[in-house]
Amino acid sequence: MPVLESGVRDFPQERRVTLSTREADFVLHNANVLTMAAKRPRASLVAVEAGRIVFVGSDDDLDQFKGRAKLVSCEGKTVVPGFNDAHTHVLAHASRLLGVDCSPASVTSIADIQDRIRQQAARVPQGTWIRAGGYDEFHLLESRHPTRHDLDEAAPYHPTKLTHRSLHACVLNTPGLALARISIETPDPPGGLIDREVETGEPTGLVFGMDSRLNERVVPPLSEQDLRQGIRLANNDFLSSGITSLTDASVRNGPEQWRLFLGLRERGELAPRVRMMFGLDALAKLEKIGLRSGCGNAGLGLGPVKIALAETRGRLYPPQDELNEGVLRAHEAGFQVAMHAVEEGTVEAAAVALEHCLHRSPKADHRHRVEHCSVCPPVLLQRLRALNAVVVTQPAFIYYSGERYLDQVPRSQLPWLYRTGSFLRNGLRPAASSDCPVAPCNPLAGVYAAVTRRARSGQALSPEEAVPPEDALKMYTLAGAYACFDEHQKGSIETGKLADLVVLSADPTAVPPDELMEIRVEKTIIGGEVVWEL
Ligand SMILES: [Zn+2]
């Protein structure tokens, strides 16, 4: 479907149905349907036609469809709206899936990382870049980041980049540092930090906040063949996790990535519906090719302008004035703004920028977003509430990184970390996301963490922020749609909405919380088509 030109999203119109007998392509019945709709939260039958939900009712309504639709019994299984991952990184996920896997699930020590990189070095010619990723120093036996020397031992003749699980740090070996032109003389770039030996000032190989820059200027891009293979793997990961919609939150996105997503969607290589964020730098370029706010269709649409805020050595990047100006520029161009803000200082800077913007150019339903909003003390929460900001949080971080938070986050900040309950109670409409590949994309891990507030070890983090499973599911469905102005089209099981549905092995609102992670996605349906089945 052509979406390069500007225009309003061309959602197909709802089909009218007659009252006594009904037609549909298929009817899911004998189902435990959690609709997420206020009017009718529970149902047992859903009829789908031409990619849309045309009827929601009970098994008593089944007779009307007999002989007029394919009837599919769900055998009592649970049906929920397709999950919406409100903040993820498709290309980084694809690249991570192709690279050397150094995630905590695969390695436990620096020696393990070296083994894996050594094996890769034996497979590819000298001089070829080795991409490795997913390490988390907190979960390594040595409890430290690897250094250039550790990587040199494994791959002395291959430039190597080992990316941290967070994507905000990476380690280069000596050939990698040379190609990146990072030496003792190189100053820290804006918003970045080069870690150095205390005594000599030599770079240790570890750099912070420079991953995008290195991918753009130093590490060659994946070949088209590799990229498509990575996307295939990522697509399968999303679908098997029940993700039918996602927002790609990469700050590097621009016209080139728009075309890439367009191609992937047209060829059916990326099945979930995509909203693409893009960097502020790309705003003018996108406008030049006719792309404006609201552009696209149900399959691919232009999302918010992403601005990444960082606080390094106590300094804000971009500086507050520049940030205020950028937010206002995107706002006045009619776009939503999504600010990446993790530290308390950056969340505050995001609030200041929004106050500045809305004071100059008031708009009631702007839905400007704060991504992560990781540390949010009560005063900031109230400011964000007054601003009507949307928070996009990552509950699964509690599960995957909880032990690290308990160890490293100051005690005074722990109650304010990845809040959910108090966001909901204060009407901030938080949407949930994985930030994949920072964490695995499985929404049920996020539901588990939002409900239990437990880390992998079982330790709880501010349990007063826990939410009931119904609310956790809404954060992964309806709230994700709302965060992109899509709530009229998806996020709940209601007549007229897109038939994006997931069949689960058990009911998340009925199983003991400890069993939430064991629930499996059995079927993923997008626009009425089964795109994945267990
Ligand atoms: Zn992210």
pLDDT in tens, 329-368: 999 999 999 999 999 999 999 999 999 999 999 999 999 9
- Cα 352 to averaged position of ligand 1 atoms, centre (Å): 21
Nearest C-alpha neighbor of 308 from the set 291, 293, 327: 327
What band does 74 get if pLDDT is binned at 50, 70 and 90? Answer: very high
449 versus 315: the higher-pLDDT residue is: 449
Question: Whole-angstrom Cα distance, residue 516 to residue 502?
Answer: 15
**254-288 confidence digits (pLDDT tens):** 999 999 999 999 999 999 999 999 999 999 999 88
Q: Residue 314: which residues within 8 A CB-CB, separation 6 or more? A: 345
* For range 35-52, the mean pLDDT: 96
Query: Mean pLDDT for the chain?
Result: 93
- Cα 418 to averaged position of ligand 1 atoms, centre (Å): 14
- Cα 334 to averaged position of ligand 1 atoms, centre (Å): 23
What's the whole-model pTM score?
Answer: 0.90
Q: What is the pLDDT of residue 145?
A: 97
- Cα 445 to averaged position of ligand 1 atoms, centre (Å): 17
Q: What is the pLDDT of residue 1?
A: 38
Phi and psi at residue 136, to the nearest 5°: -140, 105
- Cα 55 to averaged position of ligand 1 atoms, centre (Å): 37
Q: What is the pLDDT of residue 23?
A: 83
Tell me if the bond preceding 437 is cis, omega within 30° of 0: yes
Q: Which of 92-96, 366-370, 381-385 has the lowest mean pLDDT?
A: 92-96
Q: What is the pLDDT of residue 20?
A: 59
- Cα 435 to averaged position of ligand 1 atoms, centre (Å): 5
Residue 5 above 90 pLDDT?
A: no
- Cα 337 to averaged position of ligand 1 atoms, centre (Å): 14
Query: What CA–CA distances, in Å, run from 445 to 86, 241, 283?
Result: 15, 10, 35
